[in-house]
Amino acid sequence: MPAFADDSGLTIDTLDGEPGIHSARWAGPDKDFRFAMNKIQSLLIERGAKSAEAPARAFRFGAVRGVA
């Protein structure tokens, strides 16, 4: 019987690829999307990416599926 798995996440260049596949964990125990986005926003500002147009805000959304 085959087994299927999948995962996805937001990778942000300025945050060295974080949160990546751990995106849901960044939302805290209540899985609060706003909490995660505020955390990301704060970290981007700390690293100098203050403007929405800043190249330092480059990101990708990745998804992977596996079958075994």
Active site residue 7: yes
Which one of 7, 13, 30, 32 is the catalytic residue? 7
User: In terms of DSSP H, where are the helices of the chain?
Assistant: 23-26, 33-46
34 phi and psi, to 5 degrees? -60, -40
Measured CA to CA, the distance from residue 8 to residue 6 in angstroms comes to: 7
Token pair, residue 21, equals 């596949």
Catalytic residue set: 7
